[in-house]
């Protein structure tokens, strides 16, 4: 059904198409897609000690305002991350700000954390109990004079409704946000969050989401900070700032973060670098260009314990989790394993 609709949907501006997708999910207008092959032991694992039906998650940015996470669980996603949410509502950058690069199976976005603000989103989540594992991704407001306080405020707001909190330091569309990759700055941020976590007596697991545009020296320093702050998870990675010369679509030089197929190999390589250093001490959520069983399989081989996707759903449609599970199952059966966790890091 999606393949018939795709050419019509792709005639719309990408942000309009996205808003339509959110509305369709909200009002249950995607009746033909329901999770298949539920409870297959091949895909079972745990995330933060909670049982997970499968390791395929929806990445942040799709459900920015926590409107459709329960519909996403029904499509089969094993976990869903909403946000990025900032303390106060913000419009984001001027439109157009999302570009669809069809030939490259990629998107470029410079949305700039458009969201309704933490209070609004908190009320919505409280009135709509999650039926699966829900991550909440937080970040600072664009004009904030104290970004550290913004992270802290959001952390306090969401720590008792989320199943995990992601500290997003890697959006390319909020100026200077990526400076939190600096060792001292990151340490200060994570330390502050951890102190608050202790004060509140909270056990909420924390994930840090990193940029794909970092070198081995930076990876080493970041892992040191993550380890010394007992961070539970690292998400590798956000969208990329990298050069676009090899892309085909005419819009390839639009300013913003590149996602989808062109960043797949880069993110997989980065996952492997993190894996080699961390050696299982911090779990990895692999993200970037996942859109098939094979692409998920490669992320696991590189060392990811879970995967997330966003752009793949734009190009492959709402049945994507079923499709990935079907292909992944074939690959795992060929390997003779009983559960996907057996192949993690076997690159």
Report, as residue numbers or ranges, the catalytic residues: 171
Q: Is 151 in the site for ligand FMN (CB under 6 A)?
A: no
CA neighbor of 264 nearest in space, from 294, 221, 284: 294
Q: Is 171 in the site for ligand FMN (CB under 6 A)?
A: yes
CA neighbor of 231 nearest in space, from 286, 193, 178, 276: 193
Specify the stretch interacting with ligand FMN by CB under 6 A; choose among 121-129, 182-190, 245-253, 307-315. 307-315
Q: Contacts with ligand FMN: how many residues (CB under 6 A)?
A: 28
Specify the stretch interacting with ligand FMN by CB under 6 A; choose among 22-30, 34-42, 53-61, 155-163. 53-61
Q: Is 286 in the site for ligand FMN (CB under 6 A)?
A: no
Which residue in 190, 225, 284, 290 binds ligand FMN (CB under 6 A)?
Answer: 290
Q: Is 55 in the site for ligand FMN (CB under 6 A)?
A: no
Closest residue to ligand FMN, based on beta-carbon distance: 61
Q: Is 208 in the site for ligand FMN (CB under 6 A)?
A: no
Confirm if 286 and 267 have CB atoms less than 8 A apart. yes
Confirm if 335 and 301 have CB atoms less than 8 A apart. no
Which residue in 132, 289, 293, 345 binds ligand FMN (CB under 6 A)?
Answer: 289
Q: Is 168 in the site for ligand FMN (CB under 6 A)?
A: yes
User: In Å, how far are 104, 110, 244, 247, 282 from 250, measured between CA atoms?
Assistant: 10, 17, 11, 9, 40
Q: Closest approach of Cβ 237 to ligand FMN, in Å?
A: 6
Specify the stretch interacting with ligand FMN by CB under 6 A; choose among 60-68, 200-208, 326-334, 339-347. 60-68
Specify the stretch interacting with ligand FMN by CB under 6 A; choose among 121-129, 257-265, 315-323, 324-332. 257-265
Specify the stretch interacting with ligand FMN by CB under 6 A; choose among 66-74, 151-159, 285-293, 330-338. 285-293
Which residue in 159, 174, 223, 259 binds ligand FMN (CB under 6 A)?
Answer: 259
CA of residue 180 relative to chain centroid, distance: 18
What is the C-alpha to C-alpha distance for residues 115 and 5, in angstroms, rounded to an integer?
28
Q: Is 130 exposed, middle or buried (0-12, 13-18, 19+ CB in 10 A)?
A: middle
Q: Is 311 in the site for ligand FMN (CB under 6 A)?
A: yes
Confirm if 288 and 212 have CB atoms less than 8 A apart. yes
Q: Is 137 in the site for ligand FMN (CB under 6 A)?
A: yes
Q: Is 310 in the site for ligand FMN (CB under 6 A)?
A: yes
Of 22 and 301, the one with the shorter C-beta distance to ligand FMN is 22
Q: Is 60 in the site for ligand FMN (CB under 6 A)?
A: yes
Q: Which residue has the tokens 């492997």?
A: 272
Q: Closest approach of Cβ 97 to ligand FMN, in Å?
A: 9
User: In Å, how far are 1, 47, 88, 317 from 30, measured between CA atoms?
Assistant: 10, 28, 32, 11
Contacts of 207 (CB under 8 A, 6+ apart): 135, 164, 165, 166, 167, 231, 232, 233, 234, 235, 285
CA neighbor of 135 nearest in space, from 267, 233, 271, 256: 233
What is the C-alpha to C-alpha distance for residues 155 and 143, in angstroms, rounded to an integer?
19
Q: Is 309 in the site for ligand FMN (CB under 6 A)?
A: yes
Q: Is 80 in the site for ligand FMN (CB under 6 A)?
A: no
Which residue in 52, 66, 80, 107 binds ligand FMN (CB under 6 A)?
Answer: 107
Tell me the chain's radius of gyration from C-alpha atoms: 19
Q: Closest approach of Cβ 101 to ligand FMN, in Å?
A: 11
User: In Å, how far are 12, 216, 274, 304, 341 from 346, measured between CA atoms?
Assistant: 42, 21, 14, 10, 10
Q: Which residues bind ligand FMN (CB under 6 A)?
A: 59-61, 64, 83-84, 98, 107, 109, 111, 113, 137, 168, 171, 209, 238-239, 259-260, 263, 287-290, 309-312
């Amino acid at each position: 059904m999606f393949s018939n609709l795709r050419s019509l949907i792709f005639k719309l501006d990408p942000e309009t198409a996205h808003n339509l997708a959110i509305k369709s999910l909200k009002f249950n207008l995607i009746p033909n897609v329901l999770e298949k092959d539920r409870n297959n032991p091949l895909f079972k694992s745990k995330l933060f000690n909670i049982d997970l039906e499968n390791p395929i998650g929806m990445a942040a940015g799709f459900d920015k305002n926590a409107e459709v996470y329960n519909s996403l669980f029904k499509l089969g996603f094993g976990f869903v991350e909403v946000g990025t949410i900032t303390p106060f509502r913000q419009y984001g950058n001027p439109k157009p700000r999302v570009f669809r690069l069809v030939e490259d199976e990629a998107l470029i976005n410079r949305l700039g954390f458009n969201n309704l603000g933490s209070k609004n989103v908190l009320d919505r989540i409280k009135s709509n109990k999650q039926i699966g594992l829900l991550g909440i991704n937080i970040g600072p407001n664009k004009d904030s004079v104290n970004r550290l306080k913004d992270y802290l405020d959001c952390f306090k707001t969401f720590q008792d409704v989320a199943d995990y909190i992601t500290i997003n330091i890697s959006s390319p569309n909020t100026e200077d946000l990526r400076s939190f990759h600096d060792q001292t700055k990151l340490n200060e941020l994570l330390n502050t969050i951890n102190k608050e976590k202790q004060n509140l007596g909270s056990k909420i697991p924390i994930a840090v989401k990193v940029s794909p545009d970092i070198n081995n020296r930076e990876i080493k320093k970041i892992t040191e900070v993550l380890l010394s702050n007992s961070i539970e998870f690292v998400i590798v990675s956000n969208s990329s700032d990298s050069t676009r010369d090899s892309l085909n679509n005419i819009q390839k030089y639009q300013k913003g973060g590149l996602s989808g197929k062109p960043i797949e190999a880069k993110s997989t390589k980065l996952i492997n670098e993190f894996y080699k250093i961390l050696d299982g001490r911090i779990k990895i959520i692999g993200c970037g260009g996942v859109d098939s069983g094979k692409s998920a399989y490669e992320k696991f081989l590189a060392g990811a314990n879970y995967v997330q996707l966003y752009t793949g759903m734009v190009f492959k449609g709402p049945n994507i989790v079923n499709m990935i599970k079907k292909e992944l199952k074939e690959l795992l059966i060929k390997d003779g394993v009983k559960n996907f966790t057996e192949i993690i890091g076997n690159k």
